[in-house]
Structure 1
């Protein structure tokens, strides 16, 4: 395959004896590198190279103006806007920037196509007035302000262009307009230099005028890159612009339109491959490259072209490890670099500052940021982790600067104070602090430079961003708060990139669609060939409506689609092996529908094209969830002996019944559940508060008979005790607003309703004696099969005596019904978690019995605060599920039956041959 640039160089060398006096103009800078390489390959003698420029560089040279960055232009525009807008009608910078960006794009387009700004803006203003006109009513103030905005566009344009041209800078469109005005002077100055315009397709009006002028005065040639298949087809968009140039330019009325080749119809293998999801496309690209590498280790003439440039990172992660040489022509977007999140988190922390405190989640986001770890790491100790644990343990929702800084060692307190002190909503201070942070991180990372090369590169690039922000905020005092700074920061990092550096002429080429201009490759792998991506489809990010664009010959979505069409087919001109990948799944608006380009290829059905179509389904391993099984080791035996000696708690035993693997994690390994900060009071916290409040109310009456006056006296203590227990259990969490206030009142209601029920019981003439409140119990379980003592232990909520019957009571804040504390089959007690509540109350009864045999009738059961109307829910045994005959007394026989099941359960836990096996919950 002979590339287009190879033909170009051959032609130039054949027609020019002195190439050093030539200027070669290309659509992009990148193409110039390849052109220079091709020149070095074909030149036979030592010579000075010609001047190689991109079209943008040539236009800047002609105009004498330097292009200004979008961000700087936005600030210049805001200066103009403030000068032309009354002070009471001025918008803040962050809201102004949202519509100003669109308007600047329109200014750019108008200038590139040499449209009279007065004509188009007057036309646009007139359209708005016609649309809003009504014969029935006068326009409102809002409508008048709206129409004034359209009237001002012409003034905005004029004032902005005057301001920036006086500074010797201009945006790209204005550079083009000025270049056309300065073209005659440039041609006179360079009348001895010949220019070659190479590989152009779509040209704006300014470019057309410049190139035509060069051609007319005989100082240039233009070398097209198209194919007869498309050029001769009047309906095909791949040559839409070239056909226009051919028939509309005066130059081609007298000169041939050459450089139309016959490459597309040559032999090609084209694979159209449908792949579900974007990431799967990246993975499949890796597989294709692995296959190609077996044929050519260097992948010298292979290009991976990403239709959707967001696939860059997945694609890089999917490349075969054997690839030694890779050149990437796309930049890595700064917004996708992890460090971008670090500064974003800092700004969000500041933005949500409240009364000298910060929201705990924002603090945790900063402290747990891996990019900041070098600052918080002290030998083997992670300072950030300690502070996060402190916040969670104390349930602090809004954390003060003093609390955080005090927990850092003195040598890093300055950086902690900088990060977690309120920046007073001052953007300049925020930027300075970010620059300081970058310097501190750099100092830390440079100690082990080789391990942190990429991180240091990130820091360098973000240092440039903040330097730019610093310069702009000093020069223009428009960013007045952190919110505006965050919006500008996001705007910059969304458009700026971290450029990759590599050897552009060796190895695999990874590029975007626009970078392929004038370049040819033997093998092309093109991803995301879907409607909405290739071509990009209808999008109108402009104040100028479609019909007005047509009227003034501005490009519409049709012209933009034609540009994509040209690039797509030009990429196929000289390729021999083509892999076209598309997403078969509908990912939002883009995806699911194949590109029209693929259908066109099928329709053309060229004789020399071998076209194959496949749908690739990724190999998804069948994941069968296997229940976890942990074999008991000798080291676990000591731990189980310790637990048995201390006492198996009823909750621990029911945890084993529910799922043995939970028992293993919690009791054997000692792994507790993660304790997050409770913004809203959790169910277990509510239960603890209610339990503790009842304990404080009833503890003074232990061993005494309670009278109605005693209960009445308790009512006045309910609220202060609930508040006290919330402070103890809920830490510094706020219970005076939102859901927490509701839950606080629910806790009071639970306790009050319980006391009301107690009062009714006493008023009915019954006698109530409190025997034990929150009594800690422990009892030995004789298990001869084990060679170590076994105990069970726990804390019973309440033991009382009601009319001579002893009651063993467990409080539950959740809902419990009578059926939950009744059993039919004793074997199920330790097999089905459904009977866990029965198991618990029987365990308490057994421990009390072991201490002292029952001297009176005894019952055990639950008081459910969500089912308080059902009263005391007594444990009972039944002959069958439907039987109404219940035995609700706890007798020695009842406890004997329980002990049989208890021993069997403990033997299973302690049996080294029986593994901890996960259950389906």
Structure 2
């Protein structure tokens, strides 16, 4: 396979032209590198290398103007904007930057296409006046300001470009316009210099002007790269621009048009793969490369062209290990590095100048991989200490002083991260630079293993130095929010470049990097509508019809550009693999591209189309099962000796696996910071408050007067227990204030129920409050000790009948404490867990001789207070008309004890595994 570059060089050599004296102008620097590499193939002797430059370099040389960054352009433009806009109508820099970027793009297009500036800006202004009925006397201030903006566009442009030219700098369009002005003087000064332009397609007006002038003066040769299949097809967009050049340029009326080739119609192997999502495409690229790498030297002339450059990292992670040489023309985006997220988190934290910091933001920052090591000092991990203190004390917002108190300011890192961000932008940038230096000093301790991270720091240091310079020079950044916007703008343009051998091994590139280059094997990804081509995007102030009127490019021309690049890649290739996503995504592309449909309709090549789906093995759903080993049984025995609590036993009934995790493996739930008071915290506070109230009355009959006095203490006791349980959590506002009031309401309702009961003539005597129980039960089948343990909320005597009472802040109904069949009490958690719990308490208290039977046991539900004491009852049958026995007798507890023993035997049975229940 011969390449376009080789064919051009051979043609020049055959024409007896001295290559050393030529100036080659190409669409990109990368193409120039490949051209230089091809020179030895056409030269039989040693020669001096010709001058090889990109079109941008050539135009800059013509204009004698240096380009400046987009961010600096924005600052320069704001200077012009302020000078040309009345103070009362001026936008802040942050607001300005949102629309100015679009306007700068329009300035760029207008200049590149040499449009008369005043005409087009007046045209735009007139359109807006028509839209808003400018002669209407009743214009609003908003309309007046809007029209004033459009009327000033030409003034903005004129002042802005004069300022740039006075500094000998400019944006791309201005450089092109100036270059077009200077072409005549350039020709006079370089009348002997020969230029070769090759591989161009869509040219702006400035480029056309420059090239045609050189052609007219016999100072240039032009080589196009277009196939006859496209050129002779009036409907094919791949040749749209080149056909226009051939028709419109006078030079080609008398000179040959080089070249129209016939490479596309040659035999090719074209494979089209529809694959779900980007990751699927990346993985399949890895598979294709693995297959290709098995063929000798097959990757030396292979390119992976990424239609969507976001696939770079997934593709790199999917490369087979057999690839030993690789060149990547795209840089790794700096915004994808974890250091970028660190600074984004810092800016987000400080942009509203908070006096205290939300705990999640603090944890997020100090847990960053670059920050956490900075908190390790004197053998203490202060980052962990901060996180543990936040969780232990339920701290939602932290002040700087509190952070310093916890972490001893850890070598000043607290100040860098959290102090002086509200004073001035200079201080903010100083903090960022100081942070980078601190991280660098830490990483340098182990330089060999942190080379990549240190490279990241160099890039970020350069970025913040540029921000500092811009702030110093222009002083437009007034607050952190604006700085954050400029930071993101700069960050989006920064990349960490890969280093490799440009001419060796597999090439991974974007579509634009493929210009002028030819490869034997090409893999193109993301060939979807919205990606290739990009579709109808119009990020411009200039309406579509105005662009048409002034010959400015629209989305149609941009689509034609990508059509040319796509088909040019295919022209000389022999093996072509085209991948597209089968999953339509509004954000990253829709259905397969029109390019694929066009290839199929052409019927020039034999195309193999295949839908690739990842192999998804069928995994039969299987419940988790833990077999009991002798070692595991020993652990169960330890738990049995310490004591089974009613909650642990009901947990086993609910799901044996949960019992295994919590009681055997000792895995506890993670204690999150409670931003809103949790239900279990509310329950604890209610229990503790009632314990405080009733403990002084143990052994005493209650009176209405006593309970009335307790009501006066509700607020104080509830507040006290909130402070103990909820620690430093805020209960003065929001949902927590509502929970605080609900807690007081629960306690008050309970006391009101007590008063109502006493006023009805009932006699209530407190026997025990929050009584700890631990009793041994005898199970002959087991040769080890079995204990039951638990705490009973309240035991009292009402009208001579002993009652065992369990408090529940959840909703409990009467049916939840009634049973029909004893066998079901250890199998149906949802229905009988409440009955199981109160009967266990009754059994323990009988065993320890704390009560005399018969007794009553049940629940008081704070969400169902009007039902009062919900008694356990044994029913003879299901249904509303069943007979109920609410008294717990020895017979009742013996029946329950039999079921309890069966449950414990099951837990301790080595042949009965812990089997997960379906939830």
Tell me, yes or no, whether TM beats 0.5: yes
Matched residue, 2:654: 658
From 697, 701, 705, the counterpart of 1:701 = 697
State the Cα deviation string for residues 474-533 of structure 1 (Å, max 9, x = none): 111111111111111111112222211111111111111101100111111111111111
- Alignment-derived partner of residue 140 in structure 1: 140
Q: Does 2:302 correspond to 1:322?
A: no
1:867 offset after TM fit, Å? Answer: 1.1
* Structure-1 residue corresponding to 2:27: 27
Q: Report the CA distance between 1:443 and its aligned residue.
A: 1.9
Equivalences, count: 917
1:191 match: secondary structure:
coil
- Residue in 2 aligned with 1:10? 10
Scaled by the length of structure 1, the TM-score of the pair is: 0.97
- Find the residue that maps to 1:296 and give its secondary structure: coil
Deviations 1:268-319 (A, max 9, x none): 1111111111211111111111111112356111111111111111111111
Query: How big is the shift at 1:409?
Result: 5.5
Q: 2:122 aligns to what?
A: 122
Aligned counterparts of 2:625 and 2:432: Cα–Cα separation in 1:
50
Compared CA separation, residues 291 and 693, structure 1 to 2 (3 A): same
1:769 aligns with 2:769: no
Question: Would you say 1:491 and 2:483 are equivalent positions?
Answer: no
Residue 589 of structure 1 and its aligned partner are, at CA, apart by 4.5
- Aligned-pair distance for 1:631? 3.0
Say if 1:584 and 1:591, in contact at 8 Å, map to a contact too.
no
State the secondary structure of the residue aligned to 1:295.
coil
Name the CA distance, whole Å, in 2 between partners of 1:786 and 1:12.
100
Q: In structure 2, what is the equivalent of residue 758 of structure 1? A: 754
- Give the alignment of 1:327-476 within 5 angstroms: 327-355=327-355, 357-377=356-376, 382-408=381-407, 412-424=410-422, 426-476=424-474
Deviation at 1:890, TM superposition (A): 1.2
For 1:625, the equivalent position in structure 2 comes to 621
CA distance in 2 between partners of 1:74 and 1:373 (Å)? 36
**Counterparts of 1:555 and 1:240, CA distance in 2:** 13
Instruction: Supply the distance in 2 between the matched residues of 1:601 and 1:817 (Cα, whole angstroms).
Output: 70
The CA deviation at 1:536 is 0.7
**Equivalents in 2 of 1:251, 1:436: separation in Å?**
61
Mapped contact 1:374–1:445 kept (Cα < 8 A):
no
Q: Give the equivalent residue in structure 1 for 2:514.
A: 516
1 CA distance for matches of 2:589 and 2:890? 72
Is contact 2:305–2:508 with CA below 8 Å preserved after alignment? Answer: yes
Deviation at 1:715, TM superposition (A): 1.3
Residue 156 of structure 1 deviates from its aligned partner by 0.8
Change in CA separation of 1:379 and 1:198 when aligned onto 2, cut-off 3 Å: farther
Q: Kindly report which structure 2 residues correspond to 1:683-832, keeping only aligned pairs within 5 A, or say none.
A: 683-832=679-828
Q: Aligned equivalents of 1:201 and 1:379: distance in 2?
A: 65
Aligned to 1:222: 222
Equivalence for 1:874: 871
- The 1:471/1:135 distance shift into structure 2, 3 A limit, reads closer
What SS is found at the alignment partner of 1:225? strand
Which secondary structure state, in structure 2, belongs to the residue aligned with residue 670 of structure 1?
coil
**8 Å CA contact 1:768, 1:803 repeated in 2:** yes
Instruction: Give 1:407 deviation, angstroms.
Output: 2.8
Write the distance in 2 (CA, Å) between the matches of 1:831 and 1:681: 32
Q: Identify the residue that residue 534 of structure 1 maps to in structure 2.
A: 532
1:98 maps to which residue?
Answer: 98
Contact 1:690 1:747 in 2 (8 A): yes
- Native 8 Å contact 1:298 1:323 kept in 2: no
Matched-pair contact (CA < 8 Å) for 1:804–1:856: no
SS at 1:407's partner residue? Answer: helix
| Most deviating of 452-461 and 309-318 | 452-461
| 2:887 paired residue number | 889
Give 2:834's aligned residue. Answer: 837
Aligned counterparts of 2:885 and 2:264: Cα–Cα separation in 1: 92
CA distance in 2, matches of 1:353, 1:464: 26
In the other structure, the counterpart of 1:88 is 88
Counterpart CA distance in 2 for 1:379 and 1:897 is 62
- 1:846 is matched with 843
Contact 1:404 1:420 in 2 (8 A): no
Verify the 8 A CA contact 2:530 2:590 in the aligned structure 1.
no
Cα displacement (A) at 1:342: 1.0
Query: TM-score, length-normalised on structure 2?
Result: 0.97
Q: Secondary structure at the match of 1:689?
A: helix
Q: Provide the rounded CA distance (Å) in 1 between the counterparts of 2:722 and 2:735.
A: 14
Over 3 Å counting, the alpha-carbon distance change for 1:389 and 1:853 in structure 2 is closer
Structure 2 spans left out of the alignment, 5+ residues: none
d(CA) in 1 for partners of 2:772, 2:872: 21
Partners of 1:293 and 1:111 in 2: how far apart? 47
* 1:544 paired residue number: 542
Deviation at 1:774, TM superposition (A): 1.1
What CA distance in whole angstroms lies between the structure 2 residues aligned with 1:61 and 1:702? 99
Q: Which moved more, 1:513-522 or 1:187-196?
A: 187-196
Partner-residue secondary structure (3-state), 2:771:
strand
Alignment partner of 1:719: what SS?
helix
CA distance in 2, matches of 1:347, 1:672: 36
For 2:234, the equivalent position in structure 1 comes to 234
Aligned twin of 2:62? 62
Aligned-partner SS, 2:258: coil
Aligned to 1:603: 601
Distance in structure 2 (CA, Å) of the matches to 1:253 and 1:571: 29
Query: What do the CA deviations read for 1:806-844 (whole angstroms, capped 9, x no partner)?
Result: 111111111111111112222222222122111111111
Segment of structure 1 superposing worse, 470-479 or 128-137: 128-137
Distance 1:454 1:785 in 2: 65
Q: Which moved more, 1:522-531 or 1:779-788?
A: 779-788
Deviation at residue 398 of structure 1 after TM alignment: 0.4
Distance 1:889 1:422 in 2: 70
> 2:153 maps to which residue?
153
Q: Secondary structure at the match of 2:781?
A: coil
- 2:244 counterpart residue number: 244
Give the deviation of 1:696 after TM superposition.
Answer: 1.3
Rounded to whole Å, the distance in 1 between the matches of 2:292 and 2:569 is 19
2:353/2:421 contact within 8 Å kept: no
Q: Secondary structure at the match of 1:828?
A: helix
> Would the alpha carbon gap of residues 645 and 723 (structure 1) be closer, same or farther in structure 2, given more than 3 Å must change?
same
Contact 2:853 2:890 in 1 (8 A): no
RMSD of aligned alpha carbons: 1.7
Residue in 2 aligned with 1:857? 854
* Distance in 2 separating the partners of 1:778 and 1:841: 15
Alpha-carbon deviation of 1:135?
7.0
Distance 1:51 1:363 in 2: 56
The answer to whether the 8 Å contact 1:292/1:299 transfers is: yes
Determine the C-alpha separation between the residues in 2 that align with 1:87 and 1:136.
26
Q: Distance in 2 between matches of 1:190 and 1:634?
A: 95
Q: Cα 1:425–1:888, aligned 2, differ >3 Å: closer, same or farther?
A: farther
- Secondary structure at 1:766's aligned position in 2? coil
The answer on 1:53 being equivalent to 2:50 is: no
Structure 2 residue aligned with 1:579: 577
Pairwise CA distance, 1:592: 4.1
Show structure 1 runs of 5+ residues with no match.
Answer: none
Q: Structure 1 480/839 Cα, relative in aligned 2: closer, same or farther at 3 Å?
A: same
Q: Is the 8 A contact 1:353 1:359 kept in 2?
A: no
Per-residue CA shift, 1:420-448, capped at 9, x if unaligned? Answer: 32511532222221222222222222222
SS at match of 2:796: strand
Paired residues of 1:769 and 1:802 also in contact (CA < 8 A)? yes
Contact kept, 8 Å, 2:305 with 2:511, in 1: the verdict is yes
